[in-house]
Every structure is written in structure tokens, then in C-alpha cells.
Amino acid sequence: MRVGFIGLGEMGRPMAQRLLRAGHDLAVWARRPEAVAPLLDEGASAYASPAELAARSEVVFSIVTNSADVEAIAFGPDGLGDGLAAGAIHVDMSTIAPQSARALARRYAERDVGWLDAPVSGGGAAAADGTLAIMAGGHALVLERVMPLLATLGSRVVHVGGAGAGQVAKACNQMIMVAAIEAAAEAMHLARAHGVDVEAVRKALLGGSAGSRVLEVFGERMARRNFSAGIQARLHHKDFGIVLAEAVRLGVPLPIAAQVCQQLNALMAAGWGGEDTASLLRVLEAQSQARIDE
């Protein structure tokens, strides 16, 4: 298929490479020329704007930072909307607000262009391996048309519902995952306060009912005090902004999510947004030290 791809960061680049290596005719666009270079070396073609990329693509994928970014590449100057032909499809794999996804779907429908919000979970390693979990929102017939492409990117594709439903599922995913990171941080903090080997505690917990992927990956980072970014904390902070905005809009109480968001706020205030979300441990340590210093 003639496929376009926008968003060539830690997640997007390996996803685009998988589509290219599967034999699809891949076009790319990025704000930074250096971001497209590795894909050009593998046979992709670069275009000067999203509109030009869209004009030659049957399906365009995007995975960028936030709602405003998606709206800009879709309907900003020289956006995808200026180039996508009737019957083409935009599959957005970013994590954005459900309301934004629904609004974009409506605007595309007026032009007879298909839309899927299909955010992903699994991280950079899963993106490279093609084992992402993909949560799809949109019309079933649109999903059916792009399913061969999604199968190249993920090992599990679930149609959650209509437009925006994929983003609702992703918000729920982030709530559970980051709350678990905070719980792991609190457990490591308590173990260290007792003078117990935190890595030994982590290994013990992995064998019991507290065992989880979060404890395995983020707990190890905490035990080794490796806070370099696997997933930048600023992205989880952005995601929790979406979660709490939806809670306010719908009048849904989310007490644990609200508390985790406050810890993420503290993390951002400390200047750790570019580092891993395992830095929630350092937030607890800083809070404890502040109490001691009082």
C-alpha cells in the first residue's frame, strides 16, 4: 500500500521501519530533516509537507505528542486534510483527548476521509518488535481496511468502539500503569527507609501477587537508580492532564489518579520531565527530605 508516516521519534521511527520492511511504499514527513534520514536510507521517500505526503498516500499514520500537534498536521496550513483524497484514511496513534479525536473524525467525515484513533502501549522495544497493544476507535469498516498494516505493528488490536474510544482506553491504560509506577516507588521508598536491600525486595515481590511488568521494568530502574529516559515523565504528565480534564468534564471521581497527578506535578516542578517516570521515587525522597529539614 502507499503509506504515509508522520512522527519519527522513539516510537514512530521503528513503526515506520516495520511498514517499510513489510514491503509498503512509505512516504515520510518530519519537522527535523535529520529524523527522516534513517528511513530514506532504507528506501522511504520524503515530502515537503503533510499535504504533499497525503496526496500520494492511501493511509497516513501519525504519532505525535498532543492534541494540538495532531490538529495542526491534520487541518493546519498544508495539513493532511488538504491532500487526502476521498476514501483515504488517517490513523492517529498519538495519545490525545477523546474529544479531539471525535472532532477530527467529524471533520474528516465531511470530506469522506476515514479516521481511526489507535493509540498504542508497549514502549520502544514493542514498537521495534511489532508487539504493540493497539486500542482502536472508529468505524469497523475503516479498521478492517487497515488491519493488515496494524498487524505489522502490533500483536493485539482491539476495536474498542467509535471515534474517541481508543483514546478512552489509552487513558485508562495510563491511569493503571502510572498509578502502579507510583505504588512501586512508594514500596521502594519504604524498603529503603527500613534499611532493606530494595533489589531483594523487588525480586521477592516479582514472585508474588504484586509481580507486574511495571515492577519488573520501572522497579529495576528505581533499584539501580537509573533515571535516564525510557519513557519521558513529561509524556505521562501530559496524559494525566487528559485524564483529569475528562474527569472534570464528566463529573467522574478519580481520587487515585488525582493524587498520582499531583506527584507528577511535583516531578515536573523538580525539572525531571525529560527523565524516566521512575523519577517518582525521587519525588518521594525529596518530600521526605523536606519534612526532615523543617
Q: Which residues contact 40 (CB under 8 A, 6 or more apart)?
A: 28, 46
Q: Is 238 among the catalytic positions? A: no
Grid cell for residue 283: 519525588
Rounded Cα distance between 136 and 164, Å, is 9
Please report the beta strands in 39-153, taking only residues with DSSP state E, as ranges in sequence order.
45-46, 59-62, 89-92, 114-117, 120-121, 132-138
Q: Is 147 helix (H, G, I), strand (E, B) or coil?
A: helix
Check 170, 189, 236, 238 and give the catalytic one: 170
Residue 188 CB partners (closer than 8 Å, separation 6+): 198, 201, 202, 219, 222, 223, 281
Q: Do residues 138 and 167 lie in contact, with contact meaning Cβ atoms separated by under 8 Å?
A: no
Query: What are the angstrom distances between the C-alpha of 274 and each of 78, 180, 217, 234, 268?
Result: 30, 20, 18, 6, 9
Collapsing DSSP states into helix, strand and coil, what is residue 59?
strand
3-state DSSP assignment of residue 5: strand
Residues catalogued as catalytic? 170
